[in-house]
């Protein structure tokens, strides 16, 4: 293979490189449209202002007492921060009609601080301003789970203890050198005025004019876990009261401080709020169902659309599909394939509507339709567990569907090496697919216990891997077509293969085998976990049985392909393998476009007719059809050029 990449005599001046570059260029030109938008500048500024407002409410008591300055350094910080709030709230772009309200609230807070007002007044004004800022902010994506407490403590000791002390009391080895002094997280009065969101923002962005740095090197989940860990230190002695009727959501616990949460609660309920601050993991104990996540994210998306935050609304709609609905697609297919396809199409349409300013009636109608379908899907999936036969079949189909593509790529690579009389190079292909199995399992384990991989990140990973594999397979298929004549192939082997199949090419084979298998492994495990949520413990045997049968069938298919493909005459082998690789390239290109569309990396332009052929990667969008047509066009152009060359040589 490497020899063709170095332009050997029998395939010199082919159009393949130019056409492949054209394919990449044209395909990339249609891969525009939606992108995963980062928070806008206004959103980032609002978050920072909310953080400053909360910081003032927490630390003012250390600066002023009974109308007198007790700590000049702290008081100077309060005046600087309040002036900053006034300046930034007045200079912000036109976010909404609440802009003037923000500035008025900031001015009142600054004036109260300059007058050395009572701490209760300052806390009220800072909380009022922070509440107004939060009303303008898009809903924040919360973590699905926290890292174990022992790991959070270890992170705290490594990153925070030098200033805040090993117990969080603000007495670390560097504390005496810092002004203002580091926060004492065990101070209950301050903790009652500090929210988890405020702690998360301080960890993520640092605090201006202080020694508090930003810990951008930590993952988002680690920063959330540190925020919850620091936020619990003042409530370690909290005891669970005998109350069962208080409903406290994770979002409320994150956005509001304990004083705000308990303002209108009787005494016993206040104790329960402190209990949740001490034991936040209790709010993560019951994972939300995939369809519950879908419904929640869609409702949040609608809220953001109403506020005019169209990018945030679009991103939430993408999350609704990838982090929720996609995980139960296989299970829903077992009940009602027509409903699944309709929901998929309606969610894609709803995403388009939420991402732009639309007629409210049209948007409300589309939202009502998909919410009604969610109710129907939930009834089907939770009304009764799947039967043992359905679980067995679904398990078998998942493995065969995800494993077949990877198997065919690996087998094709192996048979090429055997035909090239380079059996010694097979170990590189084996290294690739075995490493992919290990890496896929390790990635899934990491996603479960260490990091959170969003649905968008997963789809982008799968889409890019499929796109890369499709282009490489197309290239290899065209290269193999030029060797369909036995005489050409024997001469090619003698002159080029042994000389050019060296380390670089062999490691390329390993990389292709790795890519082809890795993307399938991760997706397979994801679908199996979703399938297991639809089974009871006594039905795990049926799921396992389908998996074992799937493995056996794949092994049998691999043996048959290896046994009989190597016995084919050279010309037939290369002709059949060429079209196999072309078919795989066609399928993978379709799946690459679909995955990147689902992740909102590229746009979605539906065809007038709705159809889907999942096994060959065809969906009814112009982008997918265009990219797959390009694959066929490149191959046809090469065939025509080869024929013209043969005619010219005969003359």
Q: What is the pLDDT of residues 80-119, one digit of tens each?
A: 889 988 888 877 654 444 556 788 898 999 999 999 999 8
Sign of the torsion angle spanned by Cα atoms 35, 40, 41, 47? negative
Q: How far apart are CA 322 and CA 595, in angstroms?
A: 10
Q: What is the pLDDT of residue 466?
A: 65
Q: What is the pLDDT of residue 93?
A: 52
CB 367 within 8 A of CB 343: no
CB 606 within 8 A of CB 625: no
Three-state SS at 593: helix
5, 11, 13, 19 alpha-carbon torsion, rounded to 10°:
-70
Interacting residues of 87 by C-beta distance below 8 A, sequence separation 6+: none
Give the pLDDT band (50/70/90) at residue 7. very low
Count of CB atoms situated within 10 Å of the CB of 29: 9
Q: pLDDT: is 127 or 648 the higher one?
A: 127
Q: What is the pLDDT of residue 157?
A: 92
Residue 29 pLDDT > 50? no
pLDDT digits (tens, 9 = 90+) for 546-560: 888 888 888 887 787
Give domain limits for the chain.
Answer: 2-30+386-650, 42-136, 149-174+182-284, 290-382
517, 519, 522, 528 alpha-carbon torsion, rounded to 10°:
-80
Q: How far is CA 388 from the centre of its chain?
A: 32
Q: How far apart are CA 405 and CA 416, in angstroms?
A: 17
pLDDT digits (tens, 9 = 90+) for 375-410: 888 777 765 455 666 667 767 777 777 777 677 777
Give the pLDDT band (50/70/90) at residue 158. very high
452 φ/ψ sector (left φ>0, alpha ψ -120 to 50, else beta): beta
Domain 149-174+182-284 sits in CATH 1.10.760.10: yes
Cis geometry, peptide bond prior to residue 180 (ω within 30 degrees of 0): yes
Q: What is the pLDDT of residue 375?
A: 82
Query: Which pTM does this prediction carry?
Result: 0.46
Residue 451 pLDDT > 90? no
Give the pLDDT band (50/70/90) at residue 33. very low
β-strand pairing of 68-69 with 64-65: antiparallel
Q: What's the CA angle centered on 612, arms 609 and 615, to 5 degrees?
A: 155
Q: What is the pLDDT of residue 460?
A: 65
Give the pLDDT band (50/70/90) at residue 506. low
Average pLDDT over every residue of 141-155: 82
Interacting residues of 465 by C-beta distance below 8 A, sequence separation 6+: 515, 518, 519
pLDDT digits (tens, 9 = 90+) for 188-230: 888 888 889 889 988 988 887 788 888 988 888 889 999 999 9
């Amino acid at each position: 293979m490497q020899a063709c990449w170095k332009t050997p005599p029998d395939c010199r001046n082919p159009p393949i490189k130019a056409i492949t570059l054209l394919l990449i260029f044209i395909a990339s030109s249609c891969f525009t449209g939606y992108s995963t938008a980062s928070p806008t500048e206004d959103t980032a500024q609002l978050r920072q202002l909310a953080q400053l407002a909360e910081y003032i409410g927490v630390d003012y008591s250390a600066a002023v007492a009974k109308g007198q300055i007790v700590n000049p350094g702290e008081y100077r910080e309060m005046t600087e921060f309040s002036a900053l709030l006034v300046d930034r709230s007045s200079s912000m772009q036109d976010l909404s009609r609440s802009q003037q309200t923000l500035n008025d609230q900031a001015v009142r807070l600054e004036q109260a601080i300059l007058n050395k007002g009572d701490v209760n007044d300052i806390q009220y004004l800072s909380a009022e301003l922070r509440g107004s800022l939060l009303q303008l902010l898009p809903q924040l994506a919360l973590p699905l789970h926290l890292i174990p407490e022992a790991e959070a403590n270890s992170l705290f000791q490594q990153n925070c203890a030098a200033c805040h002390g090993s117990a969080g009391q603000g007495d670390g080895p560097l504390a005496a050198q810092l002004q203002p002094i580091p926060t004492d997280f065990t101070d209950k009065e301050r903790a009652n005025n500090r929210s988890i969101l405020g702690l998360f923002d301080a960890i993520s962005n640092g605090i201006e004019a202080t020694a508090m740095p930003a810990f951008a090197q930590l993952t988002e989940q680690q920063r959330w876990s540190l925020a919850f860990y620091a936020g619990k230190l003042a409530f370690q002695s909290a005891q669970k009261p005998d109350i069962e009727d208080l409903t406290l959501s994770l979002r409320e616990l994150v956005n509001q401080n304990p004083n705000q949460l308990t303002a209108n609660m009787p005494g016993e309920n206040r104790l329960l709020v402190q209990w949740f601050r001490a034991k936040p993991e209790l709010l993560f104990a019951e994972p939300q169902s995939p369809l519950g996540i879908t419904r929640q994210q869609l409702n949040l998306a609608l809220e953001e659309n109403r506020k005019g935050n169209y990018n945030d609304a679009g991103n939430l709609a993408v999350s609704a599909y990838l982090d929720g609905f996609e995980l139960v697609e296989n299970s829903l297919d077992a009940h009602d394939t027509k409903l699944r396809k309709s929901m998929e199409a309606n969610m894609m349409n709803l995403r388009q509507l939420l991402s732009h300013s639309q007629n409210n009636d049209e948007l409300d109608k589309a939202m009502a339709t998909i919410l009604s379908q969610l109710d129907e899907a939930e009834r089907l999936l939770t009304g009764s567990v799947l039967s043992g036969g359905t679980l067995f079949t679904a398990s078998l189909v998942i493995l065969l569907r995800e494993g077949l593509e990877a198997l065919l790529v690996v087998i094709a690579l192996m048979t090429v090496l055997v035909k090239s009389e380079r059996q010694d190079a097979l170990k590189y292909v084996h290294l690739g697919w075995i490493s992919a199995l290990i890496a896929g399992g390790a990635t899934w384990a990491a996603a479960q216990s260490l990091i959170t991989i969003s649905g968008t990140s997963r789809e982008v990973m799968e889409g890019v891997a499929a796109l890369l594999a499709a282009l490489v397979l197309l290239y290899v298929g065209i290269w193999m077509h030029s060797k369909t004549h036995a005489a050409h192939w024997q001469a090619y082997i003698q002159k080029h293969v042994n000389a050019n199949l060296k380390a670089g090419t062999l490691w390329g084979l390993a990389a292709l085998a790795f890519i082809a298998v890795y993307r399938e492994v991760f997706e397979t495990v994801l679908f199996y976990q979703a399938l297991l949520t639809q089974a009871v413990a006594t039905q795990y045997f049926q799921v396992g049985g389908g998996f074992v049968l799937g493995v056996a069938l794949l092994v049998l298919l691999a043996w048959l392909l290896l046994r009989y493909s190597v016995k084919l005459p050279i010309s037939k082998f290369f002709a059949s393998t060429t079209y196999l690789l072309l078919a795989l390239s066609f399928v993978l290109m379709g799946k690459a476009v679909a995955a990147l569309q689902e992740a909102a990396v590229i746009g979605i332009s539906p065809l007038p007719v709705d159809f889907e052929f999942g096994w060959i990667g065809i969906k009814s969008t112009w982008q997918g059809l265009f990219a797959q047509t390009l694959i066929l066009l490149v191959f046809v152009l090469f065939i025509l050029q080869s024929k013209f060359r043969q005619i010219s040589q005969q003359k």
